[in-house]
Every structure is written in C-alpha cells, then in structure tokens.
Amino acid sequence: MPTQALTPITLITGASRGIGAATARLLAARGHDLALNYRRDAGAAEALAAELRAQGRRVLTLAADVSDAGQVLAMFERIDAGLGRLTGLVNNAGIVAPAARVQDMSPVRIEQIFRVNVLGSFLCAQQAVARMSRRQGGAGGAIVNVSSRAAQLGSPGLYVDYAASKGAIDTFTLGLAREVIDEGIRVNGVRPGIIDTEIHASGGMADLLPGAVAGIPMQRMGRAEEVAEAIAWLLSDASSYTVGSMLDVGGGR
C-alpha cells in the first residue's frame, strides 16, 4: 500500500537557504506541496515560495523557532488549515557555533545547540506523527532527519557539542523509526559531510574550510542539491523498505 497521499504535503524546517532550500526545489519538482519553515529570513523564504508557486505548487511560508514548542504547534496548525494533512517532514533546521574546545564551551552555547538541533527535531516529529499516524486517523507518511557525518567523527577541537547533538539525532531516528513504523510512518536520516552552504560562515568556520576539504576523499565540498537527492529518495516510496537508516552523503568522508 503506498504510504503517501496523491499530492504529498511536506514540511521542511530551515528551508530559507542551504540544504533546506535545495530540498524544497527538488520536492516541488517532484510534485510536493510545501510548507517552508524559517526562523528569521522572511525575504529568502518568500522569494523561494514565489519561485515554487510559479511552478504550480501550493506553498506556505512559516516563521517559527523549532526549539519553541508553542511556535511549533502554531506552525503545524497553520499547515493543517492552509495545506491539509501533512505526509512528509524534513527535520533540517540546525545550527553550529564557533570552533572551541569542550572545556571552553559555555552552558548557554551547549544548551542552544541541543535546543535547536535535538529538541527542535523532537517537537516537529511529535506534531508530524500525530497527523500521519494511521492509528490516529492519518494516512501514513515519512520523516527524514538531517544529522551530520560529525555524529561519527566527533569534531574534536571544533564543535563536539554539535557533533553530539547529531549523534542524538541518529539515535532519535532509529528509536522513532521502530516506534512508529507499524503506524505507517517511515523515519530515516541523512548524514551530510561538508556541504557548501552558509552554515560554515554563520559558525565562524569559513577559514577552516580549505583544510577540511583536503581531508575529503572526493577532494571537494558537497552541494546542497546532492543532499536533497538523498532526502527526496528517503521521503519517497522508492525507499519503501528502508526504516531507521542513516544515509551518508559525505564524498567518502
């Protein structure tokens, strides 16, 4: 039995740029109606939405901090009213922080990383499961969590807090997948390597990129579109027997 309605309705968190925006473009081309979440950059989200609406898709833009339970609930209620019952969620919103050793990380920094990267993914998944679960009147669906190769590399001297938050996403993916698969919801994840987006500059890490790229077997950064392909496959019925898996998209790293 197919797990998705005729027109998939998918929420992508952190869709205003980078991997989230590339995923939105690919899913729109594959016939998804989309809810595009962002935190601050309304202009970027609106420009993307206009581009995708011009292709005939229904698109909502939704400002919400994914680490705030009230804002997440309000976001899902707007999707219910504006698009209908959700069939897909991409837990993509995530942040890094400037390079630091563990002993120098402030509690505020560590807490913020875990709030956005981990709590935010839990909060969005809770709302998505409530709408997708066949036990709760839903039609099933798929969730893709965006982790990182850092989860397995640890990122010493850079951002062990970020790496650990992505390790939590790996375990969250496995546990949630096994918890909800018999309700018609497939949960999987991707672990991108070093991808050419603005996240590195936002974390004050742009200077470290050339050295990091030298350690990638493919000798180049990945493109957001290359991660989007993996996400789109995991969301689609083409991956119908793939459950609780993490797909590395890291150029061999």
Reported residue count of the chain is 253
Closer by beta carbon to ligand NAP, 44 or else 174: 44
Closer by beta carbon to ligand NAP, 120 or else 184: 120
Instruction: Give yes or no for a contact between 93 and 39, defined as CB atoms under 8 angstroms apart.
Output: yes
d(CA 144, CA 147): 9
> Mutual orientation of helices 224-235 and 18-29 as an angle, nearest 10°?
50
d(CA 30, CA 7): 10
Closer by beta carbon to ligand NAP, 4 or else 117: 117
Closer by beta carbon to ligand NAP, 65 or else 140: 65
The answer to whether residue 66 forms part of the interface with ligand NAP (CB under 6 A) is yes
Q: Which of 126, 152, 202, 242 binds ligand NAP (CB under 6 A)?
A: 202
Q: Which of 9, 10, 18, 52 binds ligand NAP (CB under 6 A)?
A: 18
Query: What is the torsional sign of CA 151, 126, 130, 176?
Result: positive
The answer to whether residue 163 forms part of the interface with ligand NAP (CB under 6 A) is no
**Selected catalytic residue, list 38, 159, 162, 241:** 162
Q: Which of 25, 39, 131, 186 binds ligand NAP (CB under 6 A)?
A: 39
Instruction: Give yes or no for a contact between 24 and 57, defined as CB atoms under 8 angstroms apart.
Output: no
The answer to whether residue 121 forms part of the interface with ligand NAP (CB under 6 A) is no
Active site (annotated) includes residue 38? no
The answer to whether residue 146 forms part of the interface with ligand NAP (CB under 6 A) is yes
d(CA 161, CA 100): 10
Q: How far is the CB of 211 from ligand NAP (least distance, A)?
A: 14
Half-sphere exposure of residue 94, counting CA atoms within 13 Å on the CB side?
27
Closer by beta carbon to ligand NAP, 98 or else 137: 98
Q: How far is the CB of 106 from ligand NAP (least distance, A)?
A: 18
d(CA 125, CA 169): 12
Binding segment for ligand NAP (CB under 6 A), chosen from 33-41, 103-111, 122-130, 174-182, is: 33-41
Q: Which of 3, 4, 10, 16 binds ligand NAP (CB under 6 A)?
A: 16
Which tokens belong to 107? 């509690």
The answer to whether residue 72 forms part of the interface with ligand NAP (CB under 6 A) is no
Residue 9 CA, distance from chain mean position: 15
The answer to whether residue 41 forms part of the interface with ligand NAP (CB under 6 A) is yes
DSSP state of 184: T
DSSP H helices, 115-196, are 120-132, 150-153, 160-180
Binding site for ligand NAP (CB under 6 A): 13-20, 37-41, 65-67, 92-95, 116, 120, 146, 148, 192, 194-195, 197-199, 202
Residues with active-site annotation: 162
